[in-house]
């Protein structure tokens, strides 16, 4: 039974069950017409649904509460838990009113304190990729448990789940240590588990070999997120390293065979050239026009140390480094040995296409 809304404070209900509006033991209302009828098969309810139903049905009168409990198969101790009463309160009141004792039989998931015993990750964590964490234990209801994960965006409770297992998802937005906390609704930490989000890596397969780039989102978050957006969209497949200069750099990501431009699919980004990363051999940086904040999809790999490309002032804002080659620098070296030519307005174009076959986030 899926129900809608949330319940009123336990203090009001305690007053009702204590006799306000329902009469004392000496002037008990007539016996409810509903006889004890436990469900044919024991019902199972989520505590959140029960609380929502209480408000939706305006279920605050003690006699109506008793009638509903009979039909649902709840017992007096469950009423205590649902309404936030001291143990034994509901049973004593029902006895005092000379009402039919509650038969019980139903299960209310979420009553009692949550007791998480383990937190596990569904797979290896990756920056910017959806991560799955599973909590196991007992009484794991959204009504008495919350999950807190810093530096992980879009935190959401997955559909399904049970009193013994709940799953949450989010996307890590930082690298390094990541802590998952299971908390009571009062904020107490019930269980904590630590995980590690590694620096993201992109594997670029080319017609000359494979190059693996490791990115640095801590130093260049805007640039890394932009580059990964193009990577994960498959944008770079079939583009070229169209500009190759030995002793300088190789540039690609903007043209396909025949120097046909591939239009960027995201807006230009802010220049992050003051992040402390230097244009050293093997680093990867964003290409741009003479306008500082104009980088889109094109990038280059430094063949040698190019310190003159670093930021040196507002008139020479430099080029933003956002990662480095961790495997395949020999491929970069080989590409720089290829003969080049001029094609129209394009200089230093390899005579034989150097094609990016694929670029994939592999970590």
Structure confidence at residue 42 (pLDDT): 61
Does residue 297 form part of some domain?
Answer: yes
pLDDT at position 46 over 90: no
Same domain? For 333 and 208 the reply is yes
Does residue 77 form part of some domain?
Answer: yes
Contact indicator for 210, 331 with CB cutoff of 8 Å: yes
Beta strands in 102-259, from DSSP E residues, in sequence order:
107-109, 115-121, 131-138, 146-149, 152-157, 165-172, 176-183, 189-197, 201-206, 209-215, 239-245, 249-256
User: Which helix (DSSP H) or strand (DSSP E) does residue 14 occupy?
Assistant: helix 10-17
- Max distance between CA atoms of the chain, in angstroms, equals 105
Phi, psi at 220, each rounded to 5°: -140, 65
Contact indicator for 361, 225 with CB cutoff of 8 Å: no
Same domain? For 213 and 324 the reply is yes
Same domain? For 41 and 74 the reply is yes
Structure confidence at residue 218 (pLDDT): 98
Structure confidence at residue 22 (pLDDT): 36
For 293-321, write each residue's pLDDT tens digit: 999 999 999 999 999 999 999 999 999 99
Same domain? For 101 and 126 the reply is no
Structure confidence at residue 316 (pLDDT): 97
Same domain? For 214 and 322 the reply is yes
Of the pLDDT bands very low, low, confident and very high (cuts 50, 70, 90), residue 264 is very high
pLDDT at position 38 over 60: no
pLDDT > 70 in the chain, percent: 88
Contact indicator for 207, 216 with CB cutoff of 8 Å: no
Does residue 4 form part of some domain?
Answer: no
Residues 86-123 as b/e (b if ≥16 CB within 10 A, e otherwise) read eeebbbebbeebebeebebebebbbbeebebeebeeee
Same domain? For 80 and 149 the reply is no
Residues 6+ positions from 29 with CB-CB distance below 8 Å: 22, 23, 63, 97
* pTM higher than the cut 0.85: no
* Domain end point (choices 153, 176, 197): 197
* Domain end point (choices 77, 109, 141): 109
Same domain? For 79 and 206 the reply is no
Structure confidence at residue 163 (pLDDT): 82
Over residues 117-121, the mean pLDDT reads 97
Same domain? For 332 and 211 the reply is yes
Phi, psi at 82, each rounded to 5°: -65, -40
Give the residue with greater pLDDT, 52 vs 339.
339
Does residue 2 form part of some domain?
Answer: no
Same domain? For 290 and 183 the reply is no
pLDDT at position 8 over 70: no
Does residue 349 form part of some domain?
Answer: yes
> What is the average pLDDT value for the chain, to the nearest integer?
87
Show the tokens assigned to 116. 């998480």
Structure confidence at residue 110 (pLDDT): 67
Does residue 281 form part of some domain?
Answer: yes
Over residues 326-338, the mean pLDDT reads 98
Question: How many angstroms separate the CA atoms of 62 and 101, rounded?
Answer: 14
Residues 6+ positions from 237 with CB-CB distance below 8 Å: 356, 357, 358, 359
Question: How many angstroms separate the CA atoms of 259 and 252, rounded?
Answer: 11
pLDDT at position 168 over 90: yes
Question: How many angstroms separate the CA atoms of 189 and 145, rounded?
Answer: 10
For 55-100, write each residue's pLDDT tens digit: 888 888 999 999 888 888 888 888 887 887 777 899 999 999 999 9
pLDDT at position 352 over 60: yes
CATH number at residue 319: 2.40.100.10
pLDDT at position 26 over 50: no
CATH number at residue 190: 2.60.40.10
Of the pLDDT bands very low, low, confident and very high (cuts 50, 70, 90), residue 177 is very high
* Domain end point (choices 109, 132, 163): 109
Same domain? For 231 and 262 the reply is yes
Domain that holds residue 286: 201-361
Of the pLDDT bands very low, low, confident and very high (cuts 50, 70, 90), residue 5 is very low
Same domain? For 228 and 331 the reply is yes
For 220-262, write each residue's pLDDT tens digit: 999 999 999 999 999 999 999 999 999 999 999 999 999 999 9
Does residue 161 form part of some domain?
Answer: yes
Does residue 5 form part of some domain?
Answer: no
Same domain? For 83 and 28 the reply is yes
pLDDT at position 279 over 70: yes
- Count how many domains the chain has: 3
Q: Which of 232, 240, 217 is nearest to 300 (CA)?
A: 240
Q: Which of 236, 240, 237 is nearest to 250 (CA)?
A: 240
Give the residue with greater pLDDT, 37 vs 235.
235
């Amino acid at each position: 039974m899926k129900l809608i809304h949330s319940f009123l404070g336990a203090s009001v209900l305690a007053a009702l069950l204590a006799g306000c509006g329902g009469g004392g033991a000496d002037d008990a209302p007539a016996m409810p017409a509903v006889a004890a009828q436990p469900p044919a098969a024991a019902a199972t309810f989520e505590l959140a649904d029960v609380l929502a139903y209480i408000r939706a049905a305006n279920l605050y009168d003690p006699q109506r509460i008793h009638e509903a409990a009979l039909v649902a198969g709840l017992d007096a101790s469950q009423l205590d838990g649902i309404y936030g009463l001291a143990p034994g309160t509901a049973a004593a009141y029902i006895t005092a009113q000379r009402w039919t004792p509650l038969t019980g039989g139903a299960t209310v998931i979420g009553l009692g304190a949550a007791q998480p015993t383990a937190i596990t990750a569904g797979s290896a964590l990756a920056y910017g990729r959806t991560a799955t964490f599973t909590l196991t234990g007992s009484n794991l209801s959204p009504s008495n448990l919350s999950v807190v994960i810093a530096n992980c965006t879009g935190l959401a409770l997955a559909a399904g789940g049970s009193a013994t297992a709940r799953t949450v998802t989010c996307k890590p937005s930082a690298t390094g240590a990541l802590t998952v906390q299971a908390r009571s609704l009062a904020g107490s930490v019930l269980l904590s588990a630590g995980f590690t989000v590694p620096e993201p890596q992109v594997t670029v397969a080319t017609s000359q070999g494979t190059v693996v780039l490791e990115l640095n989102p801590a130093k260049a978050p805007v640039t890394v997120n932009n580059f990964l957006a193009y990577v994960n969209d498959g944008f770079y497949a079939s583009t070229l390293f169209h500009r190759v200069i030995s002793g300088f750099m190789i540039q690609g990501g903007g043209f396909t065979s025949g120097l046909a431009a591939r239009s960027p699919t995201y807006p230009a980004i802010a220049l992050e050239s003051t992040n402390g990363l230097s244009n050293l051999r093997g680093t990867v940086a964003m290409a741009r026009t003479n306008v500082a904040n104009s980088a889109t999809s094109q990038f280059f790999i430094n063949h040698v140390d190019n310190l003159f490309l670093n930021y040196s002032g507002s008139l020479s804002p430099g080029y933003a480094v956002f990662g480095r080659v961790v495997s395949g620098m020999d491929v970069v070296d080989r590409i720089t040995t290829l003969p080049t030519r001029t094609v129209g307005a394009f200089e230093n174009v390899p005579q034989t296409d150097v094609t990016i076959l694929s670029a994939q986030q592999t970590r």
